Amino acid sequence: HFGSRSPSLRSEALPLGLQKLLAEIPGAMAGNGEFMETAKVAAGTSSVTYTADHNKSMSVRKSRHLSMKDEPNRRVSRKYAAEEGAQAAAVGAAAAKPASAAAVRKSRNASLIIAKAEDMRQRQIHLYESGKDPEERDYHTSVHTQDPAKLLPSQNSKLGTDGPACREGPAGIDVAEVSTLQQVSGKNKITPPKKENIWVRLMKQIFTGIFNVLLWGTVIVEVFLIYTGNSDDIVTPIILASVVVAAGLLQWWTELKAESLMDALSGMQATAPVPVVRRSRGQRQDLMIEAEDLLPGDVIFLKMGDRVPADVRILSCTDGMEVDNAALTGESIPEPRDPATAEQGTAPTHARNTAFYGTTVVKGSATCMVFFIGDKTFLGKIASSIKSARSKSTFEIQIEHFVHLIAIVAVVVGLASLVANLMSPTQHPIGYIIANAAGALFAQVPEGLIPTVTISLMIASQKMSARHVLVRKLDAVETLGCVSVVCSDKTGTLTAGDMTLRDMVHFSTASDMVTETDFNTTDPADKVSLASKMLRGGVRNNATVITGPGKYVGSPTEVALTKAGIAAWGQSKVKDVMDNVTLYEIPFDSANKWMFVAEPHADGGQVFSLKGAPERVLKFCKFAYIGKGEERCITPMTPEMLDTVSASAKKLMNNARRVLGIAEKRANVPNDYVWDKTSMEYAKENFLSDMVFIGLFGIQDPPKPGVKQAVEDCQSAGVKVIMITGDHPDTGVAIAKEISIIPANQELPPYTVITDKELADKVPSGESFADDGSEEAKRLEAFWTQVVVHARVFARVTPIHKQLIVQALQKWGGKNADGKAYGDIVAMTGDGVNDAPALKQANVGVAMGIRGTEVAKDASDIILLDDEFASIVHGIEQGRVSSENLQKSIAYTLCSKVPQCIPNFLELAGLPLALNVSQVLAIDIGTDIWTAIAYAWQPKESALMARKPRHPLVEKIVNGGVLIYAYGYMGIMQMACCWVFYFTAPGIHKSIGKSHFTEEEEHVNKVASTLYYYTLVIGQIAAALATTTYHESLFKYLMPNHKLNLCIIFEIILAAIVIYDPACEGVFMTTGLTVKQMAMPWMTFVFISLCEEVRKVFKRKEGHAREIAPKDGLRARLLDQPDGTAVAPSAW
């Protein structure tokens, strides 16, 4: 069995260590035959028989927890059953037949090894949540809900004689079991993924892909023709080969830059030796072992500064122990730890009695039991979910689709040219025919496309970095412009990630409480104002340490009060208050949930201050302050007043506030009283009674400035914003209402807020959602198809849930008007290791540059350098500009393909070749590639962010409209003009139908060819200006792209050099033109520009191809429509 789901015991199903051990035993690795017989002989009359039937019976339960019965009502472990069987087998074998004693011993050893290993496996089943498969992709365990007194024995581990501290007496696992346990559990390290050799990848970039195959094929044909003497054009193959190699190197280099994800994960693994206690023959053994040698059940000791070496259950710890989970979750605030057993149903990641692999102890020390190691840890689960190869981006799919389309066109044109040559009445040599067909094919291949696209995206990424968006993967630039859903983390992205005092609430009358939000009017010296008294008490009764300007050490709520005081009074006054003499104090602890300070009063006597959870503070309050200013008075606390306080506290909590209560009282303890000898029980009884309630503090991690506007801008642009948080649902909803993610004053429809409990049974059993028609698939589809439409807040989610949310949006989101779901294009933000699976799954992974972990950054496509959500909006806008400009650039590149191709066919009709391969290269590589790249600097057209996002699978960058424009409209106009001016060459008509020409006729042919080439250059200049706008007139838009203007000037200069330079005349087979001949082709520019202006007039009348959202925008519809559905773009 051993974890195999097959109905037979196979050697490959065993752990590697056991395979090695059993390999030394005759018959042990023989499968179901010889070894099964050996095991039966060894077992004798024992009830333990390892057969296929046994394995089959064990597959019924998912947990594979197996038990065996030797007698009624008595459970027997396999280990002991096998030992009894082995002894009986030894006796039976000796009596029955003359068997080798060594063979019997080896057989017995084989069954003992298997039994012992299986026993250990069954122990480890107890570490998982009941009823769940250990191999499930989501992380789950039950150790946090188990009492250590029962948990350790279940792993054959042991507490010390001093209990959970394990500092005395034998404790931990038995040394005798270590060897077998190592074989079963393996090493405590995360398995790295296989990496492809970088040089193999480079070769693939250069020599594979249909586009490269076409270009290399052209190079080979050109070289063959040169070798056979049918061509002397060595420039073309050299330039082509250089372009392919350069493009491959560029792509290879950009991919290498994006690959260090698993290296960063490996850096989180502990490397220092770990103090461990184990048992050996009843004696205690204190050891220092390497972290990778830790085993489940090991008892270890951690102290401040240690990196947690595995997933551990805290057995005991010092008061106030804290663990920094920033490396895992991205949360900058250390979390307290407590060994108390958690309640059933508590998520392991929210339990305070666990610590996870890769996190750090920042305060205190602890005794812990290891429960998961290596790939089974929380970090290991995350690592396994990001090992898969990166899927193709939507941009790569679009480019691949375009390349295939062009390849088909090129091959068809090339074959058509070959057939036409063979069928032509004019007989040509075979070398000439091949060269002509290759030229026709080559003319259709935009050989500058890949470097143009890559360099354009690099330029766009540089422009985005100026807006605090760092692009790690170039294709993310275009994809970001297509994003239809942004899934954002709450803390640090939508909110400041910094707890802030936002409200102070106190009684104005006995039946009413008033809220103060302006703290600048307070003063620590003010003895009358309740707001001043409250804030001074909050600052004084505080454990925060100020380490420097803007630097604090303490709990987030305490720091929030200190910072509020500094903002209102200045740091010097706050220090004066905090440095006042402390007579006696009781620090905050998780049991009391309050803290107490006694200090001398300026007028004599003392002031006692109590601050903590409102319900705990109110228990000590017999009175309350009421009123303002001089009218303030102290009145007895009544039940009605208690209800008012409770209602105010609840209102604050509903608004996502953490609430603290504060109270004080004056005292007159004798001056000679010895405060140091006061016990906590005495203080509780004598100091805390009859306190006077002052008010409530409302503390919150507030939304960042500008986030609300950025969310509304997203919604106006047709982009839905979803909050994904690990916080409580009420906290998430309150923030979501404040920043317009969900309506503030409306009842929320079903599925708007989804919690971890609702997602618990909505995780597919496989790596992703299946379409196999099973009951599970139908159940999941019914749930998730509703969620992707309505959900705006996901709370208390796990890393796997985050990945699942992205997968569901990509599968069932983006529903078209016809009801078909094309899948949303999802951007996901994150900062912790736990966000890495979702970041990698998303179409665009967005990591935080300031708070983000290295793993999150490595898993992302872009990084927000300022951690501002508004930067995503800027990125989307720049992505849309880049996408639009790339489409214009490709359209421009394709415009010249028709006039480049047709001369090859008309040559068969007897016309001298109007455009040779060298001239095609001069246009494509010499001029067009630079002009196409210059589109990266093209400014946006109006109303860009008022349009709905373009779905790349529905409205591709190179769509039917682009092809019709380039081939059927602009290409035809260019071709017509080229032929018009071709035939203006004097005497060209005499060359028609001839295969041999005189020297004079050769010159005429060169003039005609030069005119054709020059007219095409001018036609491309007209196309360059025409394609800068979709529908806006050039007279209004003008020529704002100065780099494009320079490229146009460069085109004219290069064309002149090709025509007039003697060296170039020999290479490109051109000749000098007269002034008149140079001026006439500019009529092409005028003709094409006029046609374009007329077309754009009609285009403007029809409206833009994509629907322009009204002023109230999609945001209003998202917030006001009951079902929250968005209207699909008309272009979809």
pLDDT digits (tens, 9 = 90+) for 990-1013: 888 887 888 899 999 999 999 999
Q: What mean pLDDT is reported for the chain?
A: 81
Residue 821 half-sphere exposure toward CB, CA atoms < 13 A: 15
Phi, psi of 1131 (to 5 degrees): -75, -10
Q: Give the chain's radius of gyration (CA, Å).
A: 38
pLDDT category at 1112 given cuts 50, 70, 90 is very low
Pairwise CA distance, residues 610 & 587, whole Å: 11
The pTM of this model reads 0.73
Residue of 293, 489, 727, 861 marked catalytic:
489
pLDDT number for residue 93: 44
pLDDT in tens, 57-99: 333 333 333 333 333 333 333 333 444 444 444 444 444 444 5
Q: What is the pLDDT of residues 274-298, one digit of tens each?
A: 999 999 998 999 999 999 999 999 9
Look at residue 612 in the predicted model and tell me its pLDDT: 92
Tell the residue number behind the tokens 């959500």, with chain if given.
869
Strand locations in 981-1075 (E): none
For residue 854, give Cα distances in angstroms to 261, 362, 374, 469, 1045.
8, 20, 20, 16, 42
Write the DSSP symbol of residue 304: T
* Spatial distance between the Cα atoms of 589 and 593, rounded to a whole number of angstroms: 6
Kindly report which listed range (74-78, 435-439, 805-809) carries the lowest average pLDDT score: 74-78
- pLDDT: which is higher, 6 or 749: 749
Q: Is 772 exposed, middle or buried (0-12, 13-18, 19+ CB in 10 A)?
A: exposed
Q: Residue 551 corresponds to which amino acid?
A: K
Higher pLDDT, 276 or 241: 276
Q: Which of 471-475, 795-799, 988-992 reaches the highest mean pLDDT?
A: 988-992
State how far the Cα of 1004 lies from the Cα of 558, in Å rounded to an integer.
91
- Residue 264 pLDDT: 56
- Whether residue 260 is predicted with pLDDT greater than 60 in this model: the reply is no
Q: What's the confidence (pLDDT) of residue 842?
A: 92
Q: Is 643 a catalytic residue?
A: no
What does the pLDDT look like over 289-337, one tens digit per residue?
999 999 999 999 999 889 899 999 999 998 778 898 876 765 666 788 9
Q: Which of 246-250, 298-302, 461-465, 1036-1040 has the highest mean pLDDT?
A: 298-302
> Please, which residues bridge with residue 666 across strands?
607
The most confident of the ranges 110-119, 204-213, 700-709, 952-961 is 700-709
Window from 76-80, 186-190, 504-508, 803-807 with minimum mean pLDDT: 76-80
Among 226-235, 459-468, 598-607, whose mean pLDDT is lowest?
226-235
Spatial separation of the C-alpha atoms in residues 569 and 556, rounded to whole Å? 20
Whole-angstrom distance, CA of residue 386 vs CA of residue 193:
9
Cα–Cα distance between 825 and 814 in angstroms, integer?
A: 8
pLDDT at 1023: 96
pLDDT of residue 983: 95
Q: Which has the minimum average pLDDT: 164-178, 219-233, 801-815, 850-864? A: 219-233
Q: Model confidence over 709-736: pLDDT tens digits? A: 999 999 999 999 999 987 788 888 989 9
The mean pLDDT value for 236-265 works out to 71
Helix pair 999-1026, 897-906: axis angle to 10 deg: 160
Asked which of 32-36, 429-433, 830-834, 986-990 is least confident by mean pLDDT, the reply is 32-36
Encoding tokens for residue 844?
């665009």
pLDDT digits (tens, 9 = 90+) for 747-772: 888 999 999 889 888 888 777 888 88
Positions of E strands within 271-418: 274-280, 283-289, 299-302, 311-317, 322-324, 335-336, 354-355, 360-363, 366-372
Contact 485, 827 (CB under 8 A): yes
Dihedral Cα 673, 678, 680, 682, nearest 10 deg: -60
- In 735-882, which ranges are E strands? 753-755, 793-795, 826-830, 844-848, 862-864
Distance separating alpha carbons of residues 1017 and 1011, to the nearest angstrom: 10
The confidence score (pLDDT) of residue 1035 equals 86
Look at residue 656 in the predicted model and tell me its pLDDT. Answer: 80
CA 820-823-829 angle, 5° bins: 155
Digit-coded pLDDT (tens) for 639-680: 999 999 999 999 998 888 889 999 999 999 998 899 988 888
For 897, how many CA atoms within 13 A lie in the half-sphere containing its CB? 26
Closest CA to 837 of 350, 261, 257: 261
Taking residues 483-488, what's their average pLDDT? 94
What's at 591, amino acid-wise?
A: A
pLDDT 10s digits, 1030-1078: 888 888 888 889 999 999 999 999 999 999 999 999 889 999 999 999 9
Task: End-to-end CA distance of the chain: give it in Å, rounded.
Answer: 53
Q: Which residue has better confidence, 978 or 362?
A: 978
Reply yes or no on whether the pLDDT at 131 is more than 90.
Answer: no
Q: Count the neighbouring beta carbons within 10 Å of the beta carbon of residue 570.
A: 11
Distance between CA atoms of 885 and 313, rounded to whole angstroms?
55
The reported pLDDT for the residue numbered 270 is: 55
